[in-house]
Chain A
Amino acid sequence: MKDHQTNYKDYEKAQEPKRPLLKNCIKAFLIGGLICVIGQVISTIYMYFFDFTEQTVGNPTVATLIFITMLLTGFGVYDRIAQFAGAGTAVPVTGFGNAVISAAIEHRTEGFVQGVGGNMFKLAGSVILFGVFSAFIIALIKTIFSYWSGA
Chain B
Amino acid sequence: MVFLWSFIVGGLICVVGQLLLDVGKLTPGHTLSTLVVAGAILDGLGLYEPLIDFAGAGATVPITSFGNSLVHGALEEAEKHGLIGVVTGMFEVTSSGISAAIIFGMIGAIFFKAKG
Contact = CB atoms under 8 A, between A and B. Distances in A.
Contacts of A31: 14
Secondary structure call for the A interface: helix
Q: How large is the interface on B (under 10, 10 to 19, 20 to 34, 35 or more residues)?
A: 35 or more
A21 B23 contact: yes
Contacts, number: 263
A95 B114 CA distance: 18
A96 B36 CA distance: 11
A32 B33 contact: no
Interface in A76-92: 76, 86-88, 90-92
Nearest to B86: A139
Interface residues of A, number: 79
Interface of B: 2-3, 6-23, 28-29, 31-33, 35-37, 39-41, 43-44, 52-53, 55-58, 60-67, 69-71, 74-75, 78, 82-83, 85-87, 90, 93-102, 104-109, 111-115
Interface of A: 19, 21, 24-25, 28-37, 39-43, 54-55, 57-63, 65-67, 69-70, 73-76, 86-88, 90-97, 100-101, 103-109, 112, 116, 120, 123-124, 126-132, 134-136, 138-144
